[in-house]
Structure 1
Amino acid sequence: MSLETVAEEIRSEAEETADAIHKDADERAEEIIAEAEADADEIVETAEAEVAQEIDQLREQELSSAKLEAKHERMSARREALDDVRDRVESRLTDLDAEKRRSLTDSLLTDSLAEFDEDEQLAVHYAPGDEDLIADLLDERSNVTTAGEYDCLGGVVIESESSRVRVKNTFDSVLADVWEDELKEISNRLFDDR
């Protein structure tokens, strides 16, 4: 064998080895590319799922927030309506005709006096403008005197001079008690919450 033949065989083997290496490298490159594409597809799917989930969560949060805001607005409107009703009731109490005012005041005075002993010395406070009415109602009661105005819509506040007991029986206090006791029913009637 000549040197040229040996060189040719070495070159031929080197080319075959190089071709095999290229072929293996191409196959490995294709595998790597296929794996990368599969990984990329999986990453895209995962990202799309996460985005969809985030959109759903944001939608739920926005819906919940809108519902809460609507509830707050309804409650605020109800509160305003109830305040308006109460203001109108107070206005009607202030504008009672003289006969009705006298009757209610006399009833509150009688109920209040029943809380004290008959011989106790008592002082009666009254609503602004009711001085003559109270003086007339107290005309036959010797143990009760007027004590001046009290900031209220009507009715009386009676104090015992000896025991420091005070009975507050004003239109305001009666309205506050009725309002508290009947608020649910008033609300149901106004807003049809049955």
Structure 2
Amino acid sequence: MSLDTVVEDIRDEARARAEEIRENAEAEAEEIVSEAEADAERIREQRLEEAEREIEREREQALSSAKLEAKQERLAARRDVLEDVRDRVEESIASLEEDRRRDLTETLLDATLAEFDDGEDVVVSTRSADADLLADLVADRDAEVGEDVDCLGGVVGESETSRVRVNNTFDSVLETVWDDELKNLSERLFDQ
């Protein structure tokens, strides 16, 4: 074998070995690139899922916040309507016709006096606009008229001997009825 042949064989072998190394390196590079692409895809999918979860969480939070705000506005509107209804009722009570006011005041006076023992010194009071009416009603009863009270009408009875105070004003009756009927009133007004 000649030296040229040996050199050529070594070169062929070196070329084959270089080709093998290059192919191995390319395969390894393709594997690394493939793994990197798979990792990148997995990371991208994770980030997408995280972003979608965050978007969903923020959407739910915004929706919940909007529902709460709407509920608060609805409750405030209902409260305003109920206050308006109550104001109108109070106006109606304050401007009752004379005969109706007399009948109701007399009924409340009788109920008030029934709370005290016979012979007890009872002082009854009402609003200033009804003072003459109360004086007329008390004339044939065992009581005397006291100072005016701030109310829509009705009677407040007091006795120093028993330290009892009975509030039978239209205001207190309205308050009791209002509390008892508020749920029914709300249902009728707001079709719940």
For normalisation by structure 1, the TM-score amounts to 0.90
Alignment pair present for 1:164 and 2:163: yes
How far has the Cα of 1:6 moved from its partner?
5.4
| 1:189 corresponds to | 188
Partner of 1:61: 61
1:69-88 to structure 2, matched below 5 A, reads: 69-88=69-88
Question: Using the alignment, how far apart are the partners of 2:112 and 2:60 within structure 1?
Answer: 58
Mean Cα deviation higher: 52-61 or 36-45: 52-61
Q: CA deviation at 1:56?
A: 2.2
- Amino acid paired to 1:139: A
- 2:15 alignment partner in structure 1: 15
Once the two structures are TM-superposed, the CA of residue 145 in structure 1 deviates from its matched residue by 1.4
Length, aligned pairs only: 192
Q: Any residues of structure 2 matched to 1:100-139 within 5 Å, and which?
A: 100-139=100-139
Q: CA deviation at 1:73?
A: 1.4
Deviates more, 1:35-44 or 1:15-24: 15-24
Structure 1 alignment gaps of length 5 or more:
none
Shift of 1:11: 4.4
Which structure 2 segments of 5+ residues have no match?
Answer: none
Cα pair 1:128 1:152 within 8 Å, conserved: no
**1:49-106 residue CA offsets vs partner (Å, 9 max, x unmatched):** 2222222222222222222222111111111111100000000011111111111111
Identity, in percent, stands at: 56
What is the letter of the counterpart of residue 109 of structure 2? L
Instruction: Give the match's secondary structure for 2:167.
Output: strand
1:7 deviation in Å? 5.2
Mapped partners of 1:145, 1:123: distance in 2 = 5
3-state SS in 2 of match to 1:130 = helix
2:48 maps to 48
Q: In angstroms, what is the RMSD of aligned CA positions?
A: 1.8
- 1:35 Cα deviation after fit: 1.0
User: 2-side partners of 1:146 and 1:105: how far apart?
Assistant: 13
What does the per-residue CA deviation read over 1:13-72, in whole Å, with 9 as the maximum and x for residues that have no partner?
433333322221111001101111111122222222222222222222222222222211
- 2:88 match: secondary structure: helix
